[in-house]
Every structure is written in structure tokens, then in C-alpha cells.
Structure 1
Amino acid sequence: MIRHLVLFKLNDDVARDEERVRAGVRAFEALKDEIPEVEFWECAWNITDRPIAYDYAINTAVADAGALKRYLEHPAHQAAAAQWREFATWVIADYEF
């Protein structure tokens, strides 16, 4: 199995309650049902307020490297990520477990 973690940081001038951000969250929430490779899915807003904290997180798992590639290239994933590029930056980690 491969765990795919993504931490998002909203740009300085962006608020969580903006419609484009809410639409981006909805797009990510829908991925668990749209991409067959997803075996585990969580996404949520960070609940702590610390200077080093990121704002939003995705925690997902797929079976193997091929499944990760298909997930990343899936049109629904590409569309959701494109929305977030408009108002956030992110970091990722992929590891086997």
C-alpha cells in the first residue's frame, strides 16, 4: 500500500469561507467516490492555529505505484488540483506501508 499525504496552505489573501475554496473542498471530498484506485480517503481542515500549520489535509491510500499514478492522472483529481492552484500551495509525501 502507498499512503499519499497532501498538506495545503491557503494563500495569504484567501479565506476558508470563500466560494472558490468551498468548491475546491467539495471537489476533493468527491474524489473518494470518483476514483476507483482510492482504498482509503480522509480530507479535512486543520483545527489548530499555529504559525507552522498548514490549512487543509488529504490522507489517502492506494494499492501500489501504478494505482498512485492512475489516481494522480485521473481527470477528477486533475480538475480538483487545478481549482486549488488558484488559491493555495501544497506539499506532499508518498510512502509505502
Structure 2
Amino acid sequence: MICHVVLFKFHDGVGWDDPRFLEAERDVRVLPKAIPEILEWKCGRNVTNREIAYDYAVIGSFKDKSAVETYLYHPVHMRGVDQWRQFSTWVVTDFEL
């Protein structure tokens, strides 16, 4: 099993009320309905004020590396990448459970 973790950091001036974020947040929550390779999916907003904290997190579980690759190149995921790129940067890690 592979755990896929993404941490998003908003560009300066972007907040929770930014329409680009609101659309991306709505869309990221429904990815499991569109991409069957996603076994588990959690996502949410940061709730701490620590300066080193990222703004948003996504955690997904996948059967194996092949399932992660299928997810990464799925058109619905690719659309999400384009959305998040407009207002944030991110870091990713995939690790075996």
C-alpha cells in the first residue's frame, strides 16, 4: 500500500476566500468518486498558526505504485494540478505503508 501526501502553500495574498481555492477545494474532495484507484482520501485546511505550516493537505492511499501512476495521469487529477498551480506551490511524498 502506498500513502500519497501533498502539502500546499498558498502564494502571498491568497486566502481561504479566494474563488480559485474554493473551486479547487471543492474539486479535490470529489476525486475519489472520479478515480477508482484511490482507496482512502483525506484532505483539509491547516488549523495552526505556526509559520512553518502549510495551508492545505491531501492524503490518499493506493494499492501500489502502479495505482499512484494511474491517478497522477488521470484527466481529473491533471485538471486539479492546473487549478492548484494558479495560487499555490506544493511538496509531495509517497511512501509504503
* 5+ residue gaps, structure 1: none
What are the superposed Cα offsets for residues 20-74 of structure 1, whole Å, 9 maximum, x if unpaired?
A: 1100101101101110000000000011011000000000010001100000000
Q: Given residue 12 of structure 1, which amino acid in structure 2 is its aligned partner?
A: D
Distance 2:30 2:19 in 1: 16
Q: Secondary structure at the match of 1:41?
A: strand
Identity %: 44
TM-score (norm 2): 0.98
Q: Given residue 8 of structure 2, which amino acid in structure 1 is its aligned partner?
A: F
TM-score (norm 1): 0.98
Q: What is the CA-CA distance between 1:13 and the residue it aligns to?
A: 1.4
Q: What is the CA-CA distance between 1:16 and the residue it aligns to?
A: 1.2
Q: Secondary structure at the match of 2:30?
A: helix
* 5+ residue gaps, structure 2: none
Q: What is the CA-CA distance between 1:15 and the residue it aligns to?
A: 1.0
Distance 1:58 1:35 in 2: 15
